[in-house]
Amino acid sequence: MAGGFLVILNLFSASVRSVDFSGQYLKGVTLANSKINELEILNFEPDEYSGNFENEESYHWEVDIAPHDSPLNDPDSGIQLQKILLKVFWEDRGQTRNVELATLRLEGQAHPVSNTYLEKLFTGGASPASGGEGEASEDTTNANVCGSSTTNVSGAGSGSNVSGN
């Protein structure tokens, strides 16, 4: 009977330690997420690369921002990926625990280079996608986008339509 009681007591103790560690881990992840959001607001150009959290003295953080090797990097366009690695540390029963969050950041041009075909398309000057000049184009002056005529897009009318009812 006493042996069974000791086994149950050990299981209960291990369960309490597990819940405690889960709480510490959750706090570490929450603090890391908060710090990564703060760094994002600063455009990942912080004044400090390590420190303690304001209301959590037992937790401290370090960030490493370095170039990330990728085939997406393009020196001609000024595109370079950066890896941001944030580490949060804390002490638990004489042992250092940590959580790491990593993300990538695009340094340089964040939009594609202008495409003259797309520019012409949006200003109404592009030719059809087939590229065939001199092809007869369909007269769309009577086309109804809402869909009650014979040529429509949404499809309530009869004849040719796109979505079809």
Each of the 165 residues of the chain gets a pLDDT tens digit; together they read 666 656 665 665 666 666 667 889 999 999 999 999 999 999 888 899 999 998 888 999 999 999 999 888 888 877 889 999 999 999 988 899 999 999 999 886 555 556 666 666 677 665 555 544 444 444 444 444 444 444 444 445 455 445 444
Q: What tokens appear for 15 in the block? A: 């369960």
Residue entry with tokens 């401290």: 60
Number of independent structural domains in the chain: 1
Residue 129 falls within a domain, yes or no? no
Contact 96, 89 (CB under 8 A): yes
Flag whether the pTM goes above 0.85. no
Residue 58 falls within a domain, yes or no? yes
**Residue 98, domain extent:** 12-107
How far apart are alpha carbons 81 and 69 in whole angstroms? 7
Sign of CA dihedral 75, 79, 101, 35: positive
